[in-house]
Structure 1
């Protein structure tokens, strides 16, 4: 189950990630709460903040994949993680000193999004360099476990800290937490990295990556399915903030608890994925489709829960199925790409994974304002189910077509 931890470099990386990601989730919860406080509880304002943070993904992520294939990923990550930490420190200082305004938060969301959109494909493609192809699936699953462990601890801590000392100190703590992952990267033994041959500087590298993916229909289907689910089904955090505050009349700790319950499920889903990969099982398309369909159904059901506590409990199976889908999709895409193309392929993966967040954030804010706070979860779940059924039909038709052509031959 923990095969990838045998690699010293990956242990350094994972240790730093636990601390840094906990800070990231603390900031995300505090940021949502600060926007609601500054805007008088406006769901639309929260949607704008989410859109600004993820909008740079649309412009920068594909180019970041090219950069990841051309330059030293470890050095890139040291600079990017330092810049992300600085954003938290600036917002923390503005908040603690009492001068923060809503436009400050919007501006820093945009700056943070620029750095994060470059960081994501570099970080994702760097995993294979730390562990090699044989245990890549296991490392992807353990990354998900780390991410979701932080997703449990971070919002819960943020809820307590916001109530006790305010949002500003949460931002400052997140800024300091970035030092942990930077230290892990600095301490790595570069001679033990499984480095691919860097792509030389040449025109048309981005188009080359897109053509590479287009020739692989199974990868295209996975990417399209990921785009639909991440855009409309996985805009949890801002929806939970509105539900907790405006529907169930909870404070920041109540909002943090909803994220924590979802993260309990995603951590369990990541653990199951790590267990499967630890037994040498490769990612399977059937598991991906079942996870996506179950996620859509369970999210729609969760939106109908009549009480706060029933909603909280229902989020656990939602998290399990969401993580089953995302870990399988990530491993499928990484293992389906040549190592020399992995940065560009993962840039496209992160584009479809995060690029729809601006649209999803604005849509969920609009739906919450017009149809009520529950509607983003209901509509997102139903759209996720429809997208999965369409994706399954496309794959089935293609396989039947291949089988038919084989019989004719």
Structure 2
């Protein structure tokens, strides 16, 4: 691992931020929201394939799911900087519960078509696009500054705990019942999450004027990023690589159904493999994220090279279990990549417009994810699923290696 990280780092407990009650609560909230979010996504993907049997239709639905994030995340960033986060997140949970209940009812009574599903997905995506910057900003406000790097690693862990449980739960429910059952389960989960937020102790949050409107414009954050090209580069690389399939979400659905000819329960097994690797990566990043440590761009690029190698290898897997193992290993470096990218953003963002910085980050991220989903779907439909996976990994390898050579050359020139 020393090749990835610039220098050996002093290890600390990966759960050092758990000493803060509010962060323990936010961690639980984020994990449960991730469970529901991944379960929702798996249910959508599997239903689309059942309705259309088309990789292109799945790619289009992925694009539809992510499109609202491109613009609405900027609104979420402004909300994070101006309004009471606790009340806003509770409202999001209640609305998510209503959407899940509606999806279950439409499916149960046989009225859920591709077109109706697309409309509901846009509404759901719009709602959650405003939630992400608020949640990320809140997680950093409930700890002191020296623990922010550790929080970024733990936040990635919540994402992957949710991916593990959400994918597994939805896959098993679909396999043993039907495609609508997960939405009924997640309806009650969203209600429970909303009640959980009542325990947030606002008086213990150290950020000044928490929950009160503050002046600020998006242009302030844009001007800041203009002066920080490395931060903008890390945002862009994360968006491009994720869109090409680094998260093994869309491509795994295609591999399981179209290549290995397995049922939905095997998506749960893939979820276990990917989330297991991701949890290892997040745990390593959390242990190495000691107080005062600044994330490095070289760590980001080296992680990109390593994830690409195993990513490309997975395209040639001849059986399901080998594919799952390769996806697991690739996911370790996927997480060191994403934690470093998130850490670069968190470490640089000033407190008074951190939400807007995150909003811009998510906007860029979902532009890449949306375009990538459409591209991967088209490649899989026209060239084949394996070819689409290999092309994504190869592009990631070439971009990461080129940027690493460029950055090292620039650093040597600057040091002279």
TM score, norm. by length of structure 1: 0.93
Q: Deviations along 1:342-366, whole A, 9 cap, x unmatched? A: 1111111112222222211111111
1:34 pairs with one of 47, 53, 56: 47
Partner of 2:28: 15
8 Å CA contact 1:20, 1:174 repeated in 2: no
Whole-angstrom distance in 2 between the partners of 1:319 and 1:279: 25
Report the number of matched residues.
Answer: 401
Whole-angstrom distance in 1 between the partners of 2:410 and 2:98: 48
Matches within 5 A, 1:192-203: 192-196=204-208, 200-201=214-215
C-alpha deviation, 1:400, in angstroms: 3.4
8 Å CA contact 2:239, 2:369 repeated in 1: no
8 Å CA contact 1:140, 1:327 repeated in 2: yes
Whole-angstrom distance in 2 between the partners of 1:403 and 1:183: 54
* 1:364 partnered with 2:413: no
Partner of 1:314: 326
**Which SS does the other structure have where 1:236 is aligned?**
coil
Ranges in structure 1 where 5+ consecutive residues have no aligned partner:
405-409
Cα RMSD over matched residues? 1.9
8 Å CA contact 2:240, 2:369 repeated in 1: no
8 Å CA contact 2:70, 2:362 repeated in 1: no
Partner of 2:385: 373
8 Å CA contact 1:129, 1:196 repeated in 2: no
C-alpha deviation, 1:394, in angstroms: 4.1
Whole-angstrom distance in 2 between the partners of 1:200 and 1:152: 38
1:260 pairs with one of 268, 272, 277: 272
1:136 pairs with one of 139, 148, 160: 148
TM score, norm. by length of structure 2: 0.91
Q: Which moved more, 1:307-316 or 1:138-147?
A: 138-147
C-alpha deviation, 1:5, in angstroms: 1.0
Whole-angstrom distance in 1 between the partners of 2:47 and 2:372: 20
Distance 1:66 1:394, change over 3 A: farther
Q: Which moved more, 1:174-183 or 1:323-332?
A: 174-183
Q: Which moved more, 1:42-51 or 1:189-198?
A: 189-198
Partner of 1:241: 253
**Which SS does the other structure have where 1:167 is aligned?**
coil
**Which SS does the other structure have where 2:390 is aligned?**
helix
Ranges in structure 2 where 5+ consecutive residues have no aligned partner:
1-13
Whole-angstrom distance in 2 between the partners of 1:184 and 1:18: 12
Partner of 2:308: 296
Distance 1:398 1:77, change over 3 A: farther
Partner of 1:179: 191
**Which SS does the other structure have where 2:230 is aligned?**
helix
C-alpha deviation, 1:279, in angstroms: 7.3
Q: Deviations along 1:383-408, whole A, 9 cap, x unmatched? A: 1112212332443344334324xxxx
C-alpha deviation, 1:243, in angstroms: 1.2
1:272 pairs with one of 274, 284, 307: 284
Whole-angstrom distance in 1 between the partners of 2:167 and 2:129: 22
8 Å CA contact 1:16, 1:180 repeated in 2: no
